[in-house]
Structure 1
Amino acid sequence: MPRWSVAYVRLIDGFNRKLGKLAMYLLYVIMGIMLFSSVTKIVQIPALWTLEMAQFTLVAYYMLGAPWTLQGDTNVRMDLLYSRWSAKGQAWWDAFTVFALLFYLGIMVYSAYDSTVYSFEYNERNPTAWRPVLWPIKVIITTGFALLFLQAVALLIRDVATIRGEEI
């Protein structure tokens, strides 16, 4: 494999691994927010922002951890025949299916970017009592989809290497 492709795979894999490990800790942030929400309700001073903030944090956890999940092949897979195939057969199938994933992710990146730009231009806010601006979470969603796209390209390069009998 060309050196640039090996460097690309290592760069994307390393970045998404570190970001995924960092995103793991957002679960503790969600737990803290929900604990704070419970305490404020017990003392009868409920905070308006806790439910939405927990939802936004969960979206960040999911979107920033998804590329690492894709990288580690820990996503859910329907496996009737796949495990019986050779490594080359699996790589051929994965290379074929990654094109559908890239098409889907390309549309999602484009749409998320468009939605984020709209959110900036119109200072979009959530129509709730707290009324937070939505651009921060939309930036995170767009970034998550873009990183998923880059990770899918890295998987395609890795599959091509496996088909060629090489390893990255």
Structure 2
Amino acid sequence: MPKAVRLYVAYVDAVNRWVGRIAMYLVFVMMGILFYSTLSKQFTLPALWTLDMAQFVMVAYYLLGGGYSMQLGGHVRMDLLYGGWSDMRKAWFDAFTVLLLIFY
């Protein structure tokens, strides 16, 4: 592999690691928004924006954290079949399922 490609891949991996580690904290942001929603409803001052904002944060968490999870190999797989496959078949299957993850 050419040196320029290796440098590009290393750069993308580093950015992906950085973004993934930041995205981990979006769960706490979402929990805070939902907690605020609960408190505001208890005091009869419901904030209408909280459900939409929590959904947006969840989508950001899913999209930004997905690459980091794939980088670490943390996605759930059907190991009954996947474990016995060759590395090339695993790579093709991973490439196909990434498309399904994106469109989900």
Question: Aligned equivalents of 1:31 and 1:96: distance in 2?
Answer: 36
* Superposed counterparts of 1:97-116, under 5 Å: 97-101=93-97, 104=99
**Identity, % of aligned positions:** 45
Shift of 1:75: 0.6
1:21 aligned residue: 21
> Where in structure 2 are the equivalents of 1:1-168 lying within 5 Å?
1-84=1-84, 89-90=86-87, 92-101=88-97, 104=99
Alpha-carbon separation, structure 2, partners of 1:27 and 1:15: 20
> Hey, what does 1:155 align to over in structure 2?
none
The CA distance in 2 between the partners of 1:97 and 1:47, in whole Å, is 44
- How far residue 8 of structure 1 moved from its aligned partner, in angstroms, is 2.2
Aligned length: 102
Please, which runs of 5 or more residues in structure 2 have no aligned partner?
none
Instruction: With the length of structure 2 as denominator, give the TM-score of the two structures.
Output: 0.82
Report the TM-score when normalising by structure 1: 0.54
User: What one-letter code is carried by the residue in structure 1 that aligns with 2:58?
Assistant: L
What is the rounded CA distance, in whole Å, between the counterparts of 1:76 and 1:70 in structure 2? 10
2: CA distance, partners of 1:99 / 1:41? 44
The runs of at least 4 aligned residues of structure 1 exceeding 2 Å deviation read 80-85, 94-102
Aligned residue type for 2:54? A
Q: CA RMSD in A?
A: 2.2
Q: Which runs of 5+ in 1 are unaligned?
A: 109-168
